Structures are given as structure tokens and as C-alpha cells.
Amino acid sequence: MFAKQIRWNPYIIVVVVAAIFVIGTVVFLGIRSNSEVKDVVEQQFTSQQMLLSKQISRGIEEFLNEKVLLIEIMAKQESQVPPDHFASNFKTIYEESSGFYAIQFINESGTVVSGYPEDNLPLGYNLYKNNQSWAFEKVQKDKKTYITGGVQMFEGDLGSFTWVPVFHEGEFKGAILSIIKVSDVTGRFLESYAPQGHVYLVDKYGMILYDSSYKLQIGGKYFDLVNESNLQQINTFQEQINGTEGNGKYFETSEDGTSEERIVTYSLIKWHNQKWSVGITNPVSDVDSLIRSVYIIQGVFIGVSGIFIFVGSMWVILFLVKWNKTLEKKVASKTREIKQSNELLQSANIKLKEHNQLKTEFVSIVSHELRTPLTAMKTSAEFLKDDNCDSSVRLEMLDLIIRNIDRQTRMVSDLLDISRIESGKIKFNPEITNLYSIVKLSVKNVDSLSKEKGVSIDVNLPEDLPHIKTDKDKLIQVFVNLLNNALKFTPKGGNVEISSVESDHIIEVRIKDTGIGIAPGLLDRIFDKFYQIDSTSTRKVGGSGLGLAITKGIIEGQGGSIRVESTQGKGCVFIFTLVK
């Protein structure tokens, strides 16, 4: 009888039909919402991984290009091969700039004659006798730097070999060979990212240089290690080694026969003739884990909705609306979190691009700074070859050669100083000294430039200034850098003034000039390394853009601070503090 009442009661039928319709609608919309949320989160996740891979690749690219630049500068700075075959230079660069496995000099006959460190030096090894001369012959013929792909080293590791030719007056004198172990690069830049996903590194020939999952053999060819039937994976990898940046999907089959869909993003590393590529892969299930809490809430939502729909009333509808808003907030919260993370990575990526652009400009500056003195020395040397050259002209040419050698030496010293400052290896030798005597000695060092420019230097310091504990030589370097900078940008008839203000614990020193000044928008970058104000005046006076960066490193390294104040067209005031 009860069953018949339920069967024929029209109100119950309406409620049941309505409940089934509403539940079906809720389930359908829930499934559709899950799909849309997954697509959005997957897109954001892929963008995040792309920014991460670009950040890694920019770091590796900057590191490798910096090492090549150091070797090229050393190969070009000398007027001829030194008697020790660069051995002292090798030791300095090796100890001051981390990352090299070995640096060697190979003479024109193809024999290793010097290098550092000695433990990694095959002294007397001849490339021709061991059929290893092809890269050596290539740089001799092309007259430019050449970098090999991954090469199996005697020790069993993969290494990257950078060959830089050495010429003197057009004659080939040999080549400098620097070796960087691939494992040192991957250990520095890739191993820390392993928790972010499966990270791997390949070169343009498809050789595996690193694989955090240890599934791929280091030194093996990628196409020899994957299933030929997996066209998606092969096509994605082909795009990667062709030098493009992007992302893709493919299915990976494990040893137990199970298949897993993965997302891969990859970015290019370009240094000279070599192209490497960083790849990051993650299972699609990682995306699901990001929104699993949303799935749980939706499942509970559907279950509770079914119960309350059968009970019936407007309260159920209000309850559904409330839960739907909760879901929207949850999705919006997850989306905001991913967006914030992407913005942080985007900001870091922009900074890396700016730094890379600054490096490019610096290479141009250094090339100019090398070419100008080399041209002057070459011209002077040609004058000296003339037997009819007057003795006064001969002395003038010799002085010119010495000045330009000193100029190149200062540039190399600046490069080493900034490298020590950035790596935290700069050493200070503090001693009790008189600030007034330091200033007098510094002014004497720039006296010739002051007279040449027609700019006066006024020292308004009391002779009874208290003694300070500081590194005397490095403080002189600070004063000379700031005075040279002031003299460069102060026109003839101008003035440079040195003054000080003493307080309880510090002495504030001011170096004021009447030069061209600095635009307000450029003041924040004036102490950046390699940075030069893009103006006709700056290009006219030249320089590598390292002096102020080194000055800041020395001052802050001894507990002080430095800043600059300027009014464009009226000069600058550099202000730094010294601890008593």
C-alpha cells in the first residue's frame, strides 16, 4: 500500500524527478568545471615550468660565457706569449674564478707546455702524435674561439673543451685550452632543481649531458635510448635540439609496461658555436595534485547536495549557492597563488635578461678597450722598426707602448677585483693609518691627469684627522677611482674638492666635482658593474665600467657605505663613510 502511495503521489514524483534532474545537472557541471579548472591550472603550471627552465638556462649561459671571456681576454692582452707560457695567469684565473677543471697552453707544434693545476696537466702530450689535433687545427685556420661538444675525458667524465687561438703579429703561436667538467656545471645549476621535476641537459647533437632521474645514460644519444614508436616524445626532443624553446606532451612507458603522460618544457643555452638545452618534465598527475583539494570539495559538495535535494526546500538551493561560492574562492585562491609564483619567476627572468644585455654591452666595451691599446702598440712598434726613427720619437713610442700595457694590466686587474668581490674572496689587510696622508698620496697619483685636464683639486681636510683602521692600499684605490671619475667628467677650468665630516664613530668623506652631473633616473645604477651612462661624453672617455662597482665593494667590505648626489649640469658629490 505504501509503495502504491509513493508510486502514484504526484508530489513525490515531481520531487524525485526534480531531484534527479538537479543532481544530474550538478554532476554534469561539476565534471565540466573540473575539466576547465584543470586546463587553467595546467596552463599556469606549464608557464611556471617554462620560466623556471629559462632561469636555469640563463644562469648556465652566463656562467659558461663568463669563463670563455676570461680566457679570450688573457689570450689577447699580451703583446706576445710570455716566457712562462701563461702559467702564472692560469693559476690566478683558476684560483680566483671557480668552474675550471684545467687550463693549458699548447704551442704551435701541438704540445702541451704549461697549465694549471699540475694534477690535471698532461705536460708534453702532443696532439698530432695522438690524432687529437682537429680542434687545434680548426682554431688555427679560423682564427677564432671554438668549443667542442661533450667529450669523454681521460678521467671518465664528460668535459667541454674551449680552444682559443693565440696570435702575435698575425703569426700563430698556439692555443689556450680550458676544460670545464659537465658534472661541475650540472652540480652547480641543475641538482638543486631536481625536486621541481625531472631535469635533463642535452647538446645540439642529442647527447645526454645530465639526467636527474638516472634513466638515461650520461654520454649516450637520446634517440638511441628512447622507444622509436613514441613519435610525440621524439618530435618534442627534435624541436629541443634544433634550438627552439617551448613545451609539449608525450607518453612515457616504464619498465613494468605502464604508461604515464608527461609535460615537458625546454629552454636554449647558447655560447659561441655550442647549443645546449635544459628540459624539465613532470607527470600530468602533478597538475592534478595542485587541485586535489578542489576535487575533494566538489565531491563532498555533490554528495551533500544529493542528500539535501531529496529532503527538498529552498534551503538546499541556498546551501548550494554558498558551497559554489566557496569553490569559486578556492579556485581563485589557487589561481592567485600560481599567478604570484609566475610573477616572481617572470621578474627574475627579466633581471637575468637585463644582466645578459649588460654582459653583451660589456663585451663590446672590453673589445674596444683591448683593440685601442693594441692598435697603438702595433703602430708604435712599426715606427720602432724604422732604422731612421729619431731617438726622441723612439722614446715617445716606447712610452706609448708602456702606457698601453699598463692600461691593459689595469683592466685585467679590475676584472679580477670584481670577480673576488662577487665571490666573497676579496681579502683586506687592515692597519692603523692616517687618512690625511692617504688622501695626499691619492691626489699625487692623479696629478698628471689633473694638469692635463686643467682641473684643480682642493683638499679641505684637517691635518689632525684621527687615525683609522683600514686597508691602506685598497682605500687609496677608492680615492684614485673616484678622483679619476671626477676628472674625466669635469671640463677644463673646473674644480674637484675633497672634504670630510667627523662624528662619534665614523668619518664621512665627500668628493665633489663641477662636471656634467648625472640624470636623476640613472643614479640608482651608477654603481652597477659594467654599467656606463649612455652619452657622448662617456663614450669619449671610455672605460670598462668597473671602477665604481669595485669602489663600492671595497667600502662596503670594510663596514662603510657609499652614495652619490647629483644635479645634472652642475656636478656630482660622492659620499662614503669610514669606520674609526
39: β partners: none
Pull the grid cell for residue 27. 554532476
Phi first, then psi: give them for residue 166, nearest 5 degrees.
-120, 120
Q: Give the Cα separation of 283 and 250 in Å (integer).
A: 10
Q: Give the Cα separation of 71 and 139 in Å (integer).
A: 14
The pLDDT of residue 25: 67
Q: Give the Cα separation of 92 and 74 in Å (integer).
A: 11
Q: Give the Cα separation of 42 and 288 in Å (integer).
A: 9
Instruction: Kindly give the interhelix angle for 87-96 and 10-77, rounded to the nearest 10 degrees.
Output: 150
CB atoms within 10 A of CB 150: 22
3-class secondary-structure state, position 165: strand
Short-list 424, 510, 500, CA closest to 468: 500
Q: In what order do the strands lie in the sheet with 495-502?
A: 456-460, 495-502, 506-513, 571-579, 562-567
Q: Which residues of 464-495 are buried (b: 16+ CB within 10 A; e: fewer)?
A: ebeebebbbebbbbbbbbbbbbbbbbbeeebe
Phi first, then psi: give them for residue 112, nearest 5 degrees.
-70, 115
Q: Give the Cα separation of 131 and 137 in Å (integer).
A: 11
Residue 156 falls in which region: left (phi positive, over 0), alpha (psi -120 to 50) or beta: left
Q: Which residues of 182-193 are buried (b: 16+ CB within 10 A; e: fewer)?
A: bbbbbeebbeeb
The pLDDT of residue 331: 75
The burial of 203, by beta-carbon neighbours within 10 Å (0-12 exposed, 13-18 middle, 19 or more buried), is given as: buried
Q: Give the Cα separation of 526 and 509 in Å (integer).
A: 18
Q: How far is CA 275 from the centre of its chain?
A: 17
The pLDDT of residue 112: 93
Q: Give the Cα separation of 104 and 196 in Å (integer).
A: 38
Distances (CA, A) of 74 to 91, 148, 270, 514: 12, 20, 22, 38
Short-list 99, 484, 496, 41, CA closest to 290: 41
Phi first, then psi: give them for residue 263, nearest 5 degrees.
-105, 135
Residue ranges, the chain, pLDDT below 70? 1-23, 25-38, 77-79, 193-197, 223-230, 255, 287-321, 323-324, 354-372, 376, 383, 406-408, 410, 530-544
Q: Sort strands 456-460 and 495-502 into parallel, antiparallel or unpaired.
A: parallel
> H-helix or E-strand containing 358?
helix 314-385
* pLDDT tens digits along 389-433: 777 777 877 777 877 776 667 677 777 777 777 777 788 889 998
The pLDDT of residue 110: 93
Q: What is the DSSP secondary-structure string of 36-71?
A: HHHHHHHHHHHHHHHHHHHHHHHHHHHHHHHHHHHH
Q: Give the Cα separation of 455 and 487 in Å (integer).
A: 7
Pull the grid cell for residue 578. 669610514
The burial of 271, by beta-carbon neighbours within 10 Å (0-12 exposed, 13-18 middle, 19 or more buried), is given as: buried
Q: For residues 347, 348, 349 and 351, what is the CA-based torsion angle, rounded to 10 degrees? A: 90
| Sign of torsion over alpha carbons 501, 507, 513, 516 | negative
| CB-CB contact of 124 with 112 (8 Å) | yes
* pLDDT tens digits along 334-345: 788 778 877 887
Q: Give the Cα separation of 271 and 337 in Å (integer).
A: 35
Pull the grid cell for residue 48. 611556471
Q: Give the Cα separation of 297 and 330 in Å (integer).
A: 9
The predicted model scores a pTM of 0.47
Q: Sort strands 274-283 and 431-433 into parallel, antiparallel or unpaired.
A: unpaired
Distances (CA, A) of 342 to 50, 121, 316, 346, 354: 10, 46, 39, 6, 18
